[in-house]
């Protein structure tokens, strides 16, 4: 079984764990793009997610019970990292500010707003697997802005290619890419 097939199996498993716990999770990054497009467009190094900070403890417990191993990484109030079967999962944690906007939950950027409407996208699908995803417009903004928000993260070729794919798909669907 190739890496993409193994990752899809683990995406399904993580969603099942979250659903059983009543925890909302959203794919982000390259897999969110592929679920929006409905096909695998490239090899993915990891599986990136968003989850609410209030659900982090329950989510971590559920994943540990299913054989996920914690991996040291960013501050745990910002992101939870796991490995299963040699594949990385990162759950970036979300919170809301007093105005109700979705913001970074912790770490050095705590309280910084994420793109408006980021969690409002229809679920994405690859084959028979459906998953909540970050909106394609938010994906574009995040991929464009990450090197500005965090100068230690340079622009990557794959991000430019992902932006082009997302913009083309949005235009084809009669939607604005921004």
Instruction: Give the CATH number, domain containing residue 72.
Output: 3.30.460.40
CB-based contact 6:48 (threshold 8 Å): no
CB-based contact 139:145 (threshold 8 Å): no
| The pLDDT of residue 160 | 86
Q: Which segments of the chain does DSSP mark as H helices, in order?
A: 3-21, 29-37, 56-65, 136-149, 157-172
Is residue 66 one of the residues assigned to a domain? yes
Is residue 177 one of the residues assigned to a domain? no
CB-based contact 81:90 (threshold 8 Å): yes
Query: What is the reported pTM?
Result: 0.92
Is residue 24 one of the residues assigned to a domain? yes
Is residue 171 one of the residues assigned to a domain? no
Which residues span the domain enclosing 34? Answer: 3-135
pLDDT > 70 in the chain, percent = 97
Is residue 162 one of the residues assigned to a domain? no
* Closest by CA position to 178, among listed 128, 138, 118, 125: 138
Q: Please state the rounded mean pLDDT for residues 14-25.
A: 98
Is residue 125 one of the residues assigned to a domain? yes
| The pLDDT of residue 147 | 67
Q: How many domains would you assign to the chain? A: 1
Is residue 168 one of the residues assigned to a domain? no
**Average model confidence (pLDDT) across the chain:** 92
Cβ contacts of 80 within 8 Å, gap of 6 or more: 51, 56, 59, 60, 70, 90, 91, 93
Residue 153 pLDDT grade (very low, low, confident, very high; cuts 50, 70, 90): confident
| The pLDDT of residue 178 | 65
């Amino acid at each position: 079984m190739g890496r993409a097939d193994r990752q899809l199996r683990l995406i399904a498993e993580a969603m099942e764990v979250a659903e059983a716990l009543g925890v909302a999770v959203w794919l982000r990054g390259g897999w969110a793009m592929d679920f929006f497009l409905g096909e695998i467009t490239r090899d993915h190094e990891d599986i990136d997610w968003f989850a609410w900070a209030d659900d982090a403890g329950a989510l971590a417990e559920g994943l540990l019970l299913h054989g996920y191993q914690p991996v040291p990484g960013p501050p745990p109030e910002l992101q939870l990292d796991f490995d299963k079967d040699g594949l990385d999962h990162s759950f970036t944690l979300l919170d809301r500010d007093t105005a109700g906007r979705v913001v970074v939950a912790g770490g050095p950027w705590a309280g910084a707003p994420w793109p408006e409407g980021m969690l409002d996208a229809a679920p994405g699908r690859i084959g028979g697997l459906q998953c909540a995803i970050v909106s394609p417009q938010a994906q574009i903004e995040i991929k464009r802005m990450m090197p500005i928000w965090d100068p230690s993260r340079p622009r990557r070729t794959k991000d430019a290619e992902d932006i082009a794919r997302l913009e083309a798909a949005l235009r084809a669907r009669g939607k604005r890419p921004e």
